[in-house]
Structure formats: structure tokens, C-alpha cells
Amino acid sequence: MKPGFTFNIGMVLSAGWLLIALAVVLLDQMLVPFGFKGMNLSQRLIPPLFFTGTFDHPLGTDHLGRDMLSRMIAGARYSCIVVVAATVISTVLGVSLGFASAYLKGWIEEAIGVLIDFQAAIPFLIIALTILAFMGSSHGIFVVTLGLLGWEKQARHVRGMVLSQEGRGYVSALRIMGASNLRIYGGHILPNVAPTILAGVILTIPEVLLWESALGFLGFGVQPPATSIGALLAYGRNYMLDAWWLSVLPALFIVFTAASVSNLGDLLQRHIDGKSDRVM
């Protein structure tokens, strides 16, 4: 089999689902049929359209008569924004410390190594609960807390790639030519390792999404009357026997989104590995 991109139905479905999620994030106000906070107790616990429901509420209503489609769109938008922001923080932190560790060497490299080992040794749940319990669960603190997820993996990976690039002939040639460190690291090494960093970022997104949903389920993050996918799961857990859709629909969104991003990340990683094999 030739290396490179291999398109199949799974990849097409993954891309299609992510495009739908992106449209929901960008066009949420145009898509919601009702206000996600609006209550109507006379229409509580209406099932979805495909389960003897009505066209007025295609995904049903919750225990307070709130439209589930509107709440799913609002929750998905909040969760996606938080996940993207947290992934950016984690990537910037990991890449910066990885480059600093590879370039500066000495005691700075050792200090960064200690930070990486410390982060890797403690379960993220303990770190997150400690921060959120002492500092509160405001939007900013919640995003920064999620941003601490996985940076140590990125830092360790980036450090290894930078050290590998430093041993290449083009770096020695640039040094002989008198190129500055900024040009060597920023203009040559960073572009060479950027595709691998991007693949790592994409594969980090599902993990951040799962943690955002888990912490939202535990009551951290967004607070009522606002909502998120994890909060929707929490609201529906007491109605699993009578209104299964309150928990199943948010859970399906998490599963489909995480699986779609992982599939595309794997595709990109295989493409990068294929290019590396051809170069070697």
C-alpha cells in the first residue's frame, strides 16, 4: 500500500460530523429553534421525533420542558470553545517548554524535566479538582485548568524532535554560515516539526473533550442557567428510566466528536509517518 492519505467512508463520516459541529459553533443563534433557557412545564419530557415525538421538539424536551435541540446546540458550542481554548494553552505551554529544554540545556533543562515528571506522576483528576476546589470554577480558571492537560507529553515529544533535528546536517550548515539561533530554531527546526506537533494537537482534542465533559458532569465549569455537554449529562442522569434521551443524546455527541477527531488525527499521523519513511 502506498503511504499517504487513504480516504474511506469512516474518514468521510468523521469529516462530515466535524463540519456539522463547526457549523453549530459558528451559527448557533441561527440554528436554535427556542431559547435554551426557556421552560414550559406543560411540555416536559417529550420524547424525540424518532421516538413518537413531535416536530416542534425534534430532540425532545427535558424535565423542565426546555427544548433539547436548543440546549444541545448551546452546550456543544460552549464545550467546543472551551476544548479549543484549552488545547491551545496546552500546546503553547508544551511546545515552548519543549523548545526551551532542548535549546537552553543545563539547569533549565533539568528544571523543566522535573516539571514534566511531576505532571506525569499525578493523575489529572487530582490536579483539576484541587485547582477548581480552591480557586473556583469560573470560565477562565476552568479553561486554564484544562489547559494543563497533556502539556507534558507535548513538551517531552517536542524536546526529542528538536534534539533530533539539531543532529541533522542542515543545522550544522546553518551554524557554519553564521545563522542566528532564532533563524535556526524558528525558521527551520520549527517548520520541520510543525506537522508532527499538529498531529499531536489533533489527537489531544478528544482527551480534552472527555475531561471537559467529565468535569462538567461533576458540577465544575459552566454553572446554571448556562449549560455544556457534561452538564446535560448530569441533568439527565436522574431520568434515565423515564427520559433516556436526556443523557444518551449528549453522550452520543461526545462519542461521535471524539471518534471523528481521533480518526482524522490518525490519518494525519499516518501521512506524516509515510512522508518520513520516503525521506529516509
Full set of structural domains in the chain with CATH = 23-279 (1.10.3720.10)
- Of 103, 137, 109, the closest CA to residue 224 belongs to 137
Query: Average of pLDDT values for 245-267?
Result: 89
Place 7 in a pLDDT band, splitting at 50, 70 and 90.
Answer: low
What is the Cα–Cα distance from 230 to 121, expressed in whole angstroms? 26
The pLDDT of residue 160 is above 70? yes
Q: In this structure, how many other beta carbons lie within 10 angstroms of the beta carbon of residue 90?
A: 25
Beta bridge partners of 61: 67
Query: Average of pLDDT values for 264-273?
Result: 78
Phi, psi of 76, deg, nearest 5: -65, -40
Beta bridge partners of 67: 61
Query: Average of pLDDT values for 34-45?
Result: 81
- Cα distances from 36 to residues 58, 228, 231, in angstroms, run 14, 11, 13
CB 57 within 8 A of CB 71: no
Owner of C-alpha cell 459558528 = 26
What is the Cα–Cα distance from 54 to 152, expressed in whole angstroms? 49
Given this model, what pLDDT does residue 279 score? Answer: 46
What is the Cα–Cα distance from 5 to 3, expressed in whole angstroms? 7
Amino acid at 229: I
What is the Cα–Cα distance from 228 to 82, expressed in whole angstroms? 10
Owner of C-alpha cell 436554535 = 32
The pLDDT of residue 20 is above 90? no
- Is residue 123 classed exposed, middle or buried when 0-12, 13-18 and 19+ CB atoms within 10 A define those classes? exposed
Decide which of 199 and 277 is more confident.
199
Angle at 187 between CA 198 and CA 3, to 5 degrees: 40
Decide which of 59 and 272 is more confident.
59
- What is the rounded average pLDDT for all residues in the chain? 85
The pLDDT of residue 133 is above 90? no
pTM metric for this prediction: 0.86
Given this model, what pLDDT does residue 6 score? Answer: 52
Place 1 in a pLDDT band, splitting at 50, 70 and 90.
Answer: very low
- Cα distances from 181 to residues 99, 110, 175, 238, 249, in angstroms, run 12, 21, 8, 59, 51
